[in-house]
Structure 1
Amino acid sequence: MNLIYNIIIHITHFILKCGALFNDKLKKGVIGRKNTFKILTECLEKTDKTLWFHCASLGEYEQGLPVFEELKKHYKAHKIVLSFFSPSGYEIRKNAPIADAIVYLPIDTKKNAKKFLNIVNPELTIFVKYDIWPHFLNELKKRNLRAILISAVFRKNQTYFKFYGKPLRQSLFAFEHIFTQNEASKTLLQTLNYNHVTVSGDTRFDRVSNQLSLNNTLSFVEAFKSNKLCVVAGSTWPEDETLLIDFINLKASKDVKFIIAPHNIKKAQIKTIQEKLTVESILFSEKDTKNLESAQVFIIDTIGILSKIYSYSDIAYVGGAIGKTGLHNTLEPAVFGVPIIIGSHHQKFPEAQTMIDNGGMFSISNQNEFNTILKELIHNKEKRFSAGYRNSGYIKNNKGAVVQIVNYLRI
């Protein structure tokens, strides 16, 4: 293994431990990794057959879940180990029913990789999208253990394709097969002489499509909406909330309702939103004690229900791209056939550009642009319905990645 890579890993580990002294999120990850091997030894017996699923964070978990669920149906005698690198995935899904043991992935050292695989010894390993860890993957390869990568996306500016990217390039060959989201990713892999590739598309399309078969009823949202047009703003950051608050305070008719589901639900951030609003607002945590129908803005100070809330939207705004934090999941509202507004920093999200090109999504870069498109979608029913129809069609036309992956595994 490349000496420079090992040095970088140890430096990264040191930085994480130092950062944990000042950052609660990093602290959770550092403490959680100390418990990984304890959790594994408590949950697994040496005689257990296992599957190992690894996700960087929550988004990758949601992406991989439809595949995980299919595998669980077919490998009923196996125990499932689910690992996360990020606290934002682990802390939210640490009790997910899909797995028997849910842990933080240990730091990628040769010692940790051997110890982890000595306990887990997975019959099949699935990594989702990225988060490629050379020591773990090379150890899987040495032991002749099966591994595949699903929903992968590659870009030519990534480390794999740089002169210094040899450790990551080599680790890709631990995967017996890679399922990519697009043809461009397959072509890039072929420049590395990696040819066991299938363009299957993005498993997120299957994931969000499953939402349509669930019961999405939320009585408190029905009470709040009260047959009025509803704009749902999901996974917002402060820069997104500034746009929304300005529009609500100065431009919005009382006949339009707004639901804001911030990415950060800390009390200070929620309080800031409420204090800046000049119209009546209500929090999810107050819904049982206040009049929902009289409020114009409903602020969701909880997690886990945004997918269902989108089913009540007439127009959706998805946060993260007006700043540079990263665009959140636009497929969740798209599946319900609604037009979507996002910020302009969406270059790393090909599905966003496709929906923009299709006429179902609208990208804005400032307050005036936001006000203009939102007012148009509110008042132009035909445009609103047409854009929404294009988005739902886009989802329907791109399902099927899960079937291809499962068929490859011959289950």
Structure 2
Amino acid sequence: MYAIYNLIVKISWFFLKVLAPFKSKIGLFVSGRMETFGRLSTGISKADKVVWMHVASLGEFEQGLPIIERLRAEYPSHKILITFFSPSGYEVKRDTSVADVVVYLPMDTKRNASRFLDTVHPELVIFVKYEIWPNYLRELEKRKIPAILISAIFKKEQIYFKAYGGFMRKALRKFDHYFVQDAASQKLLTSLQIKNTTVTGDTRLDRVSEILDSNNQLDFMEAFKKDRLCFVAGSTWPEDESILIDYINHAPRNLKYILAPHTIKKDKILGLAGAITKKKVLFSNIDSTTIGNCEVLIVDTIGLLTKIYSYADIAYVGGGFATGLHNTLEPAVFGIPVIIGPDYEGFKEAEDLVAQKGILPIADQWTFGELMKKMLDNPEFRKKTGAINATYIAKNKGASNQIMTYIRTLL
């Protein structure tokens, strides 16, 4: 079966290289991997002690970050290597200061796995959430290098639990320990006779909890919000914005609005601004504008959204209509109600908080308008809804401490 798998991976790589000149994201996927071994040779020597963490993209990076930061503090003589699968994670975090080396993970062939581990020679390997790569895991087992899976979550629909999933089940079994997000995932692993598991929850809850202890002050937000209620919509897509813009244009003038779209290309930002009839300003232009007189702020930069959420009275998180829901925990930690689109299945924290009524899904423009009216007319409802979110995070944090306790037995 490994021979067939390797052939599929090689064929996939061939077609990716063919498509690379015509698709920018695939181009990054391919060209970035061409640099991997060169960057590794420069960044890691044979004498280095290395901890390797692999993540798929940006969301998984955030899940791994609390562990990376603790490893940095407790094992300062070790080098931290982070590998990404997706350009959407790597291109944003390639220069992050939390790691010594950041590269794309080479395609999962037997040759690549062997060469990669020869170069990196890690003492410990940490995979995050979903990442199961048979050749890498097989080579790690062969070399007796401990590997753990953290913030993992499993569903019965996944291939590991199907009759035809034997090959991937074999790969899955190669971890030394599994830190899973919920009891349902642990039960599914137990059905495969995998018993070296611990239910820890999601490490992202530790990450967002730390946000509360950070300095979240933004002078421009103080000037913009003043003493008004503030609605913040983060990581929005066109499907979200069509609903939000219609509401903003027709809503009473008693609320401040912030839109932080996922895509900040100039033409998209200008189109968004042009569709809003209320007085607005782009973040990139606030130096030349009396920001306090504006009703809408459009954030056309990255890196500020988390702190902006700290000023929100109501938050909206985009992606729940088409592209995939973005991070709902970042606004939730501030104890505010969070509104999302209808498609949140597979996002455990959203599923949990929808059930508890801290996160409120909408289906269309009408349901959004009705929900906003209730939020604004009933401050007590708004306060209680937000408190549900803050309580959930406070009760479920602590995964990183449990994982680090295990890691200390390996390093």
Tell me if TM exceeds 0.5: yes
Structure 1 letter corresponding to 2:391: G
> The residue matched to 1:213 in structure 2 has which SS?
coil
Alignment of 1:6-405 (within 5 A): 6-250=6-250, 252-323=251-322, 325-405=323-403
Question: Deviation string for 1:38-91 (max 9, x for gaps)?
Answer: 001001111111100111001100111001111121211111111101111111
Whether contact under 8 Å (1:344, 1:363) holds in the other structure is: yes
Counterparts of 1:270 and 1:12, CA distance in 2: 35
Q: How many Å apart are 1:186 and its aligned residue? A: 0.8
Counterparts of 1:125 and 1:105, CA distance in 2: 13
Aligned residue in 2 for 1:5: 5
The answer for unaligned runs of 5 or more in structure 2 is none
Whether contact under 8 Å (2:6, 2:110) holds in the other structure is: no
Counterparts of 2:302 and 2:342, CA distance in 1: 26
Whether contact under 8 Å (2:152, 2:181) holds in the other structure is: yes
Q: How many Å apart are 1:212 and its aligned residue? A: 0.6
Structure 2 letter corresponding to 1:73: A
Whether contact under 8 Å (1:233, 1:318) holds in the other structure is: yes
Structure 2 letter corresponding to 1:193: Q
Counterparts of 2:69 and 2:371, CA distance in 1: 39
**Worse overlay, 224-233 or 167-176:** 167-176
Structure 2 letter corresponding to 1:84: F
Structure 2 letter corresponding to 1:270: I
Counterparts of 2:137 and 2:281, CA distance in 1: 49
> The residue matched to 1:167 in structure 2 has which SS?
helix
Counterparts of 2:219 and 2:313, CA distance in 1: 17
**Worse overlay, 168-177 or 363-372:** 168-177
> The residue matched to 2:297 in structure 1 has which SS?
strand
Question: Deviation string for 1:307-344 (max 9, x for gaps)?
Answer: 11110100000111122x11111111010000010111
Aligned residue in 1 for 2:407: 409
Counterparts of 1:164 and 1:88, CA distance in 2: 31
Whether contact under 8 Å (1:181, 1:199) holds in the other structure is: yes
Q: How many Å apart are 1:298 and its aligned residue? A: 0.8
> The residue matched to 1:73 in structure 2 has which SS?
helix
Q: How many Å apart are 1:268 and its aligned residue? A: 1.9
Counterparts of 1:296 and 1:113, CA distance in 2: 54
Counterparts of 1:308 and 1:409, CA distance in 2: 32
Structure 1 letter corresponding to 2:351: Q
Counterparts of 1:119 and 1:282, CA distance in 2: 50
Q: How many Å apart are 1:6 and its aligned residue? A: 2.1
Q: How many residues align?
A: 409
Structure 2 letter corresponding to 1:112: N
Counterparts of 1:11 and 1:372, CA distance in 2: 51
After TM superposition, what 4+ stretches of structure 1 lie above 6 angstroms from structure 2? none
Counterparts of 2:296 and 2:26, CA distance in 1: 33
Question: Deviation string for 1:21-54 (max 9, x for gaps)?
Answer: 2222221121111000000100111111110011
Counterparts of 1:162 and 1:263, CA distance in 2: 36
**Worse overlay, 106-115 or 292-301:** 292-301
Counterparts of 2:126 and 2:227, CA distance in 1: 44
CA RMSD of aligned residues (A): 1.2
Structure 2 letter corresponding to 1:375: K
Structure 1 letter corresponding to 2:315: A
Counterparts of 1:298 and 1:16, CA distance in 2: 40
Counterparts of 2:248 and 2:14, CA distance in 1: 45
The answer for unaligned runs of 5 or more in structure 1 is none
Counterparts of 2:98 and 2:92, CA distance in 1: 13
Structure 2 letter corresponding to 1:286: N
Q: How many Å apart are 1:4 and its aligned residue? A: 3.2
> The residue matched to 2:72 in structure 1 has which SS?
helix
TM-score by length of 1: 0.97
Whether contact under 8 Å (1:181, 1:202) holds in the other structure is: yes
Q: How many Å apart are 1:359 and its aligned residue? A: 2.1
Amino-acid identity (%): 52
